[in-house]
Copies of this chain bind each other. A is one copy, B any other.
Amino acid sequence: MKKAVFFDIDDTLLDTSNFAKSARKSAIRMMVDNGLPIPFDEAYSLLKEIISQKGSNYDKHFDVLTKTVLGEKNSMLIALGMITYHNIKFALLRPFPKTTDTLIYLKSKGYRLGVISNGLTIKQWEKLVRLNLHNFFDEVITSEEVGFEKPNKYIYDESLKRMDCEAENSIMIGNRLDTDCMGAINAGMSAILIDPQVTPEEIQRIEEDNLDIEIIKNISEIEDLL
């Protein structure tokens, strides 16, 4: 009998990738319309390149963008990009459909709930608090806090310790096989992979290695498993 259920945040509880993409596109559109002297497609590709080089938690993507295009930073365009990015991101921020219902269901079944997330502590809490999801979770553990990222075993061990729960009674739920699920398996937990685009290779790997991982396409299917 499972007692604790841990969730990933980004692309598991909410559609982070899609709202970040919309927010970046709107920001670039605004910067180009207000004087960044290259076409939209080129500017957007450049931004994606900068993000993949610097990482998504770097906070000066637009500085680098204007410096690359203009030879020097342009504060007006940077501010315009940042404001647009944040306005759009927060305007679109919602949990995936049925997420809150599923959390209510799990609480009503008596599970203790936690979050294990790779990311900056305050950024991850901000998402939970804005969506009013934070009350569901007994513990929120971030890689920044712990000093190790999923799939490192240490972040799961620390999470289990804080939750005062054994690995064999705990389950990790996330959208990434390699990080969320494999890390949990290596820490002795089981896992649920939520992935509408799971590949045949991934399914084969789970079956061949007889891994304790269930695959679902939608968070609401958790109700059939727990």
Q: Which residues of A contact B (CB under 8 A)?
A: 95, 100-101, 104, 107-108, 110, 131-133, 135-136
- Per a CB cutoff under 8 Å, which of B95, B101, B107 touches A108? B107
Closest Cβ of chain B to A30, distance in Å, is: 19
Asked if A104 contacts B101 (CB within 8 A), the reply is: no
- Per a CB cutoff under 8 Å, which of B101, B108, B135 touches A135? B101
Q: Which residue of B lies closest to A132 (CB)?
A: B132
Cα–Cα, bound, A107→B131 (Å): 19
Cα–Cα, bound, A104→B108 (Å): 8
Asked if B133 contacts A132 (CB within 8 A), the reply is: yes
Contacts of A133 in B (CB 8 A): 132
Contacts of A136 in B (CB 8 A): 100, 104
Cα–Cα, bound, A104→B132 (Å): 12
